[in-house]
A and B are shown apart, each in its own frame.
Chain A
Amino acid sequence: MKITYILFLLPLLLSSCIEIIDDLSIHSDGTGTFKYSINLSSSKLKVNSILSLDSLDGKKVPDLAEIEAKITEFKNLLSQEPGISMVKTDFNTSDFILKISIDFNSISQLQSGIKSVLIRLSKDKDQYAIEEDWISWDGKTLNREIPSAVTSKVKSFEYSEIDLLKSGMYTSITRFDKPILKTSNSNCKLNPSRTASMLQVNTFDLKLNNSLIENAITLTP
């Protein structure tokens, strides 16, 4: 479905001036909250110009109402998934900031819920890529990586604005009830109480090397 394609690829196409935050909180009982924010406010002109077009690169450009409808559909479908609750979305159409917040009973239910909805929405031929795991949690160690569906798309983009690409930022935050023992990614920062980790990578580096965001976080026993 083209609109889904554009909705999820637009941030990546515009990664020249984008801020993405994924913020995952996991409690000791395995429940938690996943927050995802995409901030395109520094590309307002460009986003508005694209939205004013009928099509871009041979693909129909959706209008704001269609994008909002797609976000609502995502929210409604995700709310029906087992182990998922309190799905909230907020789309600021003047600054182009999308925020999603999801409560979950377990990491595996969060992952399978998101996969299931993406498959239903995308009708993409390459569903195997979406079905791949990108997060796992065994109660002690959390492993995260970028799904290959995203990395293969990212690799295909051309670097026409290399200087600007470097200003984009991807921030991955993970919070726990217990202190963190160690992390596999040397760029990962811990807060003073060691209960939260933060990994920041600029989007240009991420395009060159998608393993930069990979991280295994192990908690103290």
Chain B
Amino acid sequence: MFGQKSELMIPQEAVTVFSINNLDLLKKIGVDQLISYDFMNEIHQELFDGSTDNKSLKDAGIDFDQRLNIFYGKTQNMEVSGFTFGITDQAALFSVFDDFDPLPSEINGAKAYGSFFNNLVIKNNNGLLIRVEPIESYVSSMTDSIWFSRGNLSPYYQGFDQNEAFSDDELMSQDISYELLEKNYNELRDSIQYVLQHQYLSEVFKGLFQEGKSLYSLSQPFREVLIHPVAGVFYMDNERNFDRAKNLWYLKSVLPSLYLDIQELYQGNIITGDLVLGAQSIDFNITASYSEPLGSIYLEMNDAKFDKRIAKYIKEDQSAFFTYTINLEHAYNKAYEIVLPLLEKEKNIDLSMNVLTLKLANAFINKDAVFDAYKGCMFGTFNGVKKVKTRKIEFFYNEDTFEYGERETDAEEEMPIFTLGFTTGRPDVPELILAHLSTITSNFEKTPNYWVYNKAIFDAAPLYMINTDGLFILTNDEDLAKNHADGYGKAGLSNKTLKTIKKAGSMSGFANLKAVANQFPTDFLLPEQVPLMESLRGKSGTMSLRSGKTTPRNTEISLSYGFESSEDSGKHLLDMLNTLYLLTK
């Protein structure tokens, strides 16, 4: 089984895998430079120390002809993370990964090593670096169970004033007075965590090395995606993500047959992606696969046409925008046709009553009117940061007495400007709602071209609502409401861009990274995130998203990043990965 490829050592518990094919891009990057990326913290914090100075990955004995596979997985009880890689020189490897000590290995033909958090297994010049952690909530519940069964009180009960301060000597004498042979709560928890960690690690190793069950051997889609001749591939098994979803425990235990039916609906729900590095572009082509019943819903959902009236409310030079076009009515009808029979089969009385309610609602509600009010075509734009008018209280002084009073005056504050809009066949519905709200509060005002809701945002800035020409638009952009309520005219999206959006299917998006970075308010970024945003400002690049063909079994989505820079795409890729990591963590 373990011929030459390290991807064969990815455990079956892995749900997400990012596999870098072209390791050449890493050859020129020094270890210290690579580990300076924040995303590397997650996988290498125990691997590198001061001894890695001036060493490159090439010095680490890693085989650059093989893939580097980074994986993550979560089951009901444990989290598994790590990466696999090829090895050309084990001595060189341990000169960099020098925190590992040999472990008594029970794996045929393999050597196992351990550090404080991670384990390293080397078999046939393939390396598996793995960390297995029991799920924290599971450890806690098991600890609580044992702790209370021993007749202990809550570990958080202190029986004295919480604010009472104890000196170090008092705390020390308290510790000494405890029963030394009896573990306290935290010690018990640590012991349970340690035992579970070893148990789960053994389970993972048993599956992988004794039973020969790896993600590669068990998943056909994973095997397929690995043969794509691209720089990197991505794999995510949503079917198993569904299975371990915590909020489904009720369904699983109380309505097991319904759970199985819904699980069947999610069968084959796998997302794979190809990462293609061009000279001045990085393309991420994603395929979302699903079961046929679910696919038939998506197919109906995507049977929609983009409403071109939206185009005049998006500027051609907009920093960032997205459009989303779905046919909600078709999707509802199809979902009703597929999901209702599953629900009907259940004999549970509560569920049965809910099904009856759903049937009655379906029979009596005017669905055409509902889906005409929100037709399923929407858009959003980021318009940069602008000063918006607010009100403030200021103090004024009597020059004779220096007594002071308060008065309300105009003020200006900076805030990000967003617009969100959707098409509607029933402009009378939002009009009815707004007219009603205006009778409740004077903050709602109607002008000839728009409605304004004063102090809507953070009790300070106004929100404008434009209800015109089959579109309902919400924005905090005063300029759009007051000067362009009928759209931007010639400054709107060009016919060429419009054509691209129409072709894109249900989703399309665009971002001028430099413009967004320049306009992004850095006030609320963490200090370590600010330099990264600053570095993005120095890069010129555009990012575009479009969904492609939808079939009963899959949908294609592509994310393209184009840039003008002398830096190679590998460096750009690492920068982008780091940006995404920092902004999403």
A interface residues (Cβ-Cβ under 8 A, vs B): 17, 19, 21, 23, 37, 39, 41-46, 48-50, 52-53, 56-58, 94-95, 97, 160, 171, 173, 175, 191-193, 196-198
Given the complex, which residues of A lie within 8 Å of B413, measured CB to CB?
Answer: 17, 42-46
| Cβ contacts B391-408/A at 8 Å (1 or 0 each) | 111110101111010100
B477 to chain A, nearest CB (A): 15
The segment out of B41-49, B177-185, B452-460, B500-508 that lies at the interface is B452-460
A91 to chain B, nearest CB (A): 13
Is the CB of B390 closer than 8 A to any CB of chain A?
Answer: yes
B interface residues (Cβ-Cβ under 8 A, vs A): 388, 390-395, 397, 399-402, 404, 406, 411, 413-415, 457-461, 522-524, 526-527
- State A56–B393 Cα separation when bound (angstroms): 26
User: Of the candidates A42, A48, A56, A173, which one forms a contact with B458 in the assembled complex, judged by CB atoms under 8 Å apart?
Assistant: A48
Indicate whether A191 sits within 8 Å of B402 (C-beta atoms), given known contacts A48-B458, A53-B524.
yes
User: Of the candidates B392, B397, B457, which one forms a contact with A95 in the assembled complex, judged by CB atoms under 8 Å apart?
Assistant: B392
Given the complex, which residues of B lie within 8 Å of A57, measured CB to CB?
Answer: 526-527
Given the complex, which residues of B lie within 8 Å of A45, measured CB to CB?
Answer: 388, 390, 413-415, 457-458, 460-461
Closest to A19 in B: B395
- State A55–B527 Cα separation when bound (angstroms): 13
Given the complex, which residues of A lie within 8 Å of B392, measured CB to CB?
Answer: 17, 41-42, 44, 95
Given the complex, which residues of A lie within 8 Å of B406, measured CB to CB?
Answer: 97
Indicate whether A44 sits within 8 Å of B395 (C-beta atoms), given known contacts A21-B404, A56-B524.
no
Q: Do the beta carbons of B459 and A44 come within 8 Å of each other?
A: yes
Given the complex, which residues of B lie within 8 Å of A94, measured CB to CB?
Answer: 459
Closest to B460 in A: A44
Q: Do the beta carbons of B395 and A48 come within 8 Å of each other?
A: no
Given the complex, which residues of B lie within 8 Å of A197, measured CB to CB?
Answer: 402
User: Of the candidates A19, A43, A48, which one forms a contact with B459 in the assembled complex, judged by CB atoms under 8 Å apart?
Assistant: A48
- State A192–B401 Cα separation when bound (angstroms): 8
13 contacts between A and B (CB under 8 A): A19-B394, A19-B395, A21-B395, A37-B395, A39-B393, A41-B411, A42-B390, A45-B457, A48-B460, A97-B406, A191-B399, A196-B401, A198-B402
- State A175–B406 Cα separation when bound (angstroms): 20
B479 to chain A, nearest CB (A): 18
Q: Do the beta carbons of B457 and A41 come within 8 Å of each other?
A: no
Q: Do the beta carbons of A95 and B393 come within 8 Å of each other?
A: yes
A135 to chain B, nearest CB (A): 18
Indicate whether A39 sits within 8 Å of B395 (C-beta atoms), given known contacts A21-B404, A45-B461, A53-B524.
yes
Given the complex, which residues of B lie within 8 Å of A191, measured CB to CB?
Answer: 399-402
- State A145–B413 Cα separation when bound (angstroms): 32
B164 to chain A, nearest CB (A): 13
- State A26–B460 Cα separation when bound (angstroms): 38
Given the complex, which residues of B lie within 8 Å of A52, measured CB to CB?
Answer: 458
B510 to chain A, nearest CB (A): 26
Q: Do the beta carbons of A49 and B524 come within 8 Å of each other?
A: yes
Q: Do the beta carbons of B393 and A97 come within 8 Å of each other?
A: yes
- State A16–B402 Cα separation when bound (angstroms): 24
